[in-house]
Chains A and B, each alone.
Chain A
């Protein structure tokens, strides 16, 4: 069976169920790279242009982990996923960056993903991939239907509060068997804002989410916010960003600050040297400041950041929040 490799980072967190379902349906074997580890990072750092951000380096690392195991690499060129936003320029040039990084890579399948909405153009996009592997029309149609269903369910599960890894595990189980997180029993709830490939990768984020959960903190991420809520806040800023993930992060943060009003602080996870985040970070900082001085912590990750360093900063931040809460409690009492 032809093997096709998908790197476990970047768009993996948004589109993996869709790609996987479709590619399997047209008769390919999907190989996923192993979770990020030290070797992924080292290889990535070695192969990537040194000025790139750490997520891009990781992507190269994942490609390296796959290259000898697969016949093809699946690196779609993500350009547009809705009618307004493009992806970050590094996503636009990603297949080219990978292709010219080494000479011994397997052939790269890089269809251009440029759609106003999934409903309008997903079929054409998948059809072309299917034809590239000379799959039959029936299997393409069936693959398309199943893939859309998987994609929808995956995002439904995310909106119900699951994290990507949990949502992917539960993709095939019926809804009533899934253990959804209830409405916050926790003392403190934080918005963890950032791109899915940074916050949900335990290696590069220094186990941020796990550590927060261990401290008994409730967590909301942009992936847990429904597209309807996001859309409401797409009209809030005088000027939106140009980038898909940055806008999602910004709108999610604005939604949580303005409407949900149940968060006690914001943690913004950003990658060292991330271009869009330089803008986003400042914007969030100012917005948080203008809403009752909402506590704001920005954590920047790079190839040298360790779990201990991040944990120390988290603990200090949580201590501060607890003090604040206590002080407010005694004031009202």
Chain B
């Protein structure tokens, strides 16, 4: 048994916790990143590393003193930088005198041998059957979490009393966190969705629809994107993220990415440029054709693939007639600034909708 930790990434945390516990590790659960976490990461990370790198480093530094033997993380294998994060995080931690084992997963299709070696290291003599079962349950839980999250976005924009949805959402997550067996997970999912349906809403309200595109970590970790989805929901907007961990595991980890998004991006960026740069472009086309009112692009400052994608945005926005708001997030970005820009963006979309219907 080892004392294991991992990076905090949105709602997925509770799923990793139960999966690792099931294969017999003690889990040091990372706390949700705070501004303090970030400043800790900034202190030791390279200046131009992107915000996920800094937040994750900060998270490790906060969890390691709680007694950690092994850190688990994952990333792609180029050309995005995230694939090098394991190596550099490890070096920085060793430089500071910490020496936990670092298990960094690459996509199994790119590095199959390496992947299996690390799986074996992780399962530590447990049976393959248990591991498989645990993964199965993990996926199921992940899917339940995503279902609940999607429903919460739809309800929050229509809620009558601010904060009701968020409260119900947290309650539902608690149900799921405690669920262990397949049956319990299914039950928790139903209860959770029921909890959300109990929130009183205004059924006649027609919310604006906004697509959220961009880099995975800042999309998934609300602490990194200033609770963008909640903020939008409070402004009466239904946000639709392009990346959920379930779809991500299916499309990008096991297969070679989202084929449809790639096809849509083809006329603008004909090949994979790393990260989600190409997807971002394809997703704009998708959202525009799907009748969305606007798009928010999220990316860490100095994120190379998203910079390439952003440089196509003005043209794309004009051709497809959909407004795009880009946030490049770094440690200097402030909540108030994000909110002000979002308010202006929502006003613009409302105005546009009025003009279009008139």
Contacts and interface: CB of A to CB of B under 8 A. Distances in A.
A92 B274 contact: yes
Interface string B74-94: 000111110110111001100
Contacts of A100: 268, 311-312, 314-316
A95 B311 CA distance: 11
Given A273-B48, A275-B81, A51 B273 contact: no
A283 interface: yes
A298 to B, nearest CB: 10
A48 B312 CA distance: 10
A141 B121 CA distance: 54
A112 B272 CA distance: 13
B100 to A, nearest CB: 16
Contact of A277 (B48, B274, B307): B48
Contacts of B311: 48-49, 52, 93, 96-97, 100-101
B84 A89 contact: no
Interface stretch (B30-38, B62-70, B150-158, B297-305): B297-305
B262 to A, nearest CB: 14
A90 B302 contact: no
A279 B84 CA distance: 8
Contacts of B305: 89, 93
Given A89-B274, A92-B271, A274 B315 contact: no
B204 interface: no
Contacts of A51: 301-302, 307, 310, 328
Classify chain A: how many residues form its interface, as a range: 35 or more
A86 interface: yes
Interface string A90-114: 1011001100110000000000100
Contacts of A281: 46, 48
A186 B79 CA distance: 39
- Among B48, B268, B273, B275, find the residue whose CB has the most chain A CB atoms closer than 10 A: B48
A247 to B, nearest CB: 11
Contacts of A242: 77-79, 83-84
A239 interface: yes
A89 B78 CA distance: 9
B239 interface: no
B269 interface: yes
Interface in B37-59: 46-50, 53
B48 A89 contact: no
- Among A49, A101, A241, A275, find the residue whose CB has the most chain B CB atoms closer than 10 A: A275
Interface string A146-173: 0000000000000000000000000000
A279 B46 contact: yes
A272 to B, nearest CB: 8
Nearest to B84: A279
Interface string A40-77: 00000000110110000000000000000000000001
Contacts of B269: 93, 96
A243 interface: yes
Contacts of B271: 77, 79, 92, 112
B79 A243 contact: yes
- Among B81, B270, B328, find the residue whose CB has the most chain A CB atoms closer than 10 A: B81
B160 interface: no
Contacts of A49: 307, 310-311
A243 to B, nearest CB: 7
B307 A279 contact: no
Given A51-B307, A275-B304, A278-B49, A239 B87 contact: yes
Contacts of A237: 87
Contacts of B95: 286
Interface string B165-191: 000000000000000000000000000
A226 to B, nearest CB: 25
Nearest to A238: B87
Interface in B198-255: none
Nearest to A94: B308
B282 interface: no
Nearest to B311: A49
B308 A90 contact: yes
B88 A275 contact: no
Interface string A216-254: 000000000000000000000111011100000000000
A92 B273 contact: yes
A100 B303 CA distance: 19
Interface in B304-358: 304-305, 307-312, 314-316, 328
Minimum-distance CB pairs A-B, first 9: A242-B78, A93-B308, A278-B48, A49-B311, A275-B304, A100-B315, A89-B304, A89-B274, A282-B46
17 contacts: A48-B311, A52-B307, A89-B79, A93-B309, A100-B311, A237-B87, A238-B87, A242-B83, A243-B79, A272-B48, A275-B48, A275-B50, A275-B302, A278-B46, A278-B47, A278-B302, A286-B95
Given A89-B274, A89-B305, A275-B48, 16 more contacts: A49-B310, A52-B307, A86-B79, A88-B79, A89-B79, A89-B80, A93-B273, A96-B268, A96-B308, A100-B311, A238-B87, A275-B302, A278-B47, A279-B49, A281-B48, A282-B92
Interface of B: 46-50, 53, 77-81, 83-84, 86-88, 91-92, 95, 268-275, 277, 301-305, 307-312, 314-316, 328
